Structure 1
Amino acid sequence: MPTSDELEQLLRGASLRVTRPRLAVLEAVHDHPHADTDTLIGASRARMGEVSHQAVYDVLRVLTTAGLVRRIQPSGSVARYESRVGDNHHHVVCRSCGAIADVDCAVGEAPCLTADVDHGFTIDEAEVVYWGTCPACSPHVDRDRDTEGLR
């Protein structure tokens, strides 16, 4: 987790004015990866007291536009925000509980930015979402039964 001074430097480096709401929201995004807006509103209020929903939405828009925060929205989910920006990572989403985790690009670079057919587009980002069931939601298996053939 970056310090307050480091967060201030991130804002200044993006030519943004340092304000209490921007610091609170940026810190909340760093503390709560893949959080939805309601979670970030609660975390921001815990840091600085009363802040309006609209102020948090506005700050998230500014931070996303500046490239300090990434907005993701897996199918069927509300928008979520993360502080991991500047790389081409992907996500895995649990179909049961909606948990989201980062997944590095399988090859370690950005090969998926080279589309077979680009239709004239200048491609600057690719989004891959893996879907499955997280360990907490996976059915519990009778381990004795699974290992019977190994005895």
Structure 2
Amino acid sequence: MTTTEMPDLRESLRAAGLRATEQRVAVLQALSSQPHADAAGVLAAVTPTLPDTSVQAVYGILGALTDAGLVRRIEPAGSPARYELRIGDNHHHIVCSNCGAIGDVDCAVGHAPCLTPSSTSGFTITTAEVTYWGLCPDCAAGPVA
């Protein structure tokens, strides 16, 4: 899902078995404009149009959207959970170790799960989650904090 058109967002919610509430639509719109947002960032984006929205409501909506498969939750080490609309392609992430900026990285090699472990210990591998760390262009150009 990459569009912010209201009918499409509402239809996506309904197709996932969720009611298309104003708050859910607003959260999806926030994630569309702010990939890799945390709950506080989503709340800040939703509050101007829905000022009565609470942080608990945002967490509940993000959980429901994640459970329904409309949103992906990522958890880079040392960072709050982040949420994105890019789902279903087993992409990876790169995180700036200075400022925390996050970017997407397509599959490292081949098809999902992108990596072949030396041993599966009997597991059937369905996804691989890789986090690359480094400095974003802005931080690489300036002094490291």
Q: Structure 2 length as normaliser, TM-score?
A: 0.89
For this pair of structures, how many residues does the alignment match? Answer: 140
Alignment gaps of 5+ in structure 1: 141-151
Contact 2:113 2:127 in 1 (8 A): no
Report the equivalent of 1:100. Answer: 102
Root-mean-square deviation (CA, aligned residues, Å) is 1.5
CA contact (8 A) 2:30 2:45 kept: yes
Residue 30 of structure 2 corresponds to: 28
Shift of 1:113: 5.3
Q: How does 1:37-116 map to 2 (within 5 A)?
A: 37-107=39-109, 109-112=111-114, 114-116=116-118
Q: Please report the TM-score for the alignment, with normalisation by the length of structure 1.
A: 0.86
Q: Secondary structure at the match of 1:137?
A: helix
- Return 5+ residue gaps in structure 2 as ranges: none
Considering fraction of residues, name the structure with more helix: 1
Aligned position for 1:146: none
Which of the residues 13, 16, 38 maps onto 1:14? Answer: 16
> What amino acid does structure 1 have at the position aligned with 2:27?
V
In 2, are the aligned partners of 1:113 and 1:123 still within 8 Å (CA)? no
Give 1:55 shift. 0.8
Match of 2:134 among 128, 132, 135: 132
Confirm or deny: 8 A CA contact 2:90 2:107 kept in the other structure. Answer: yes
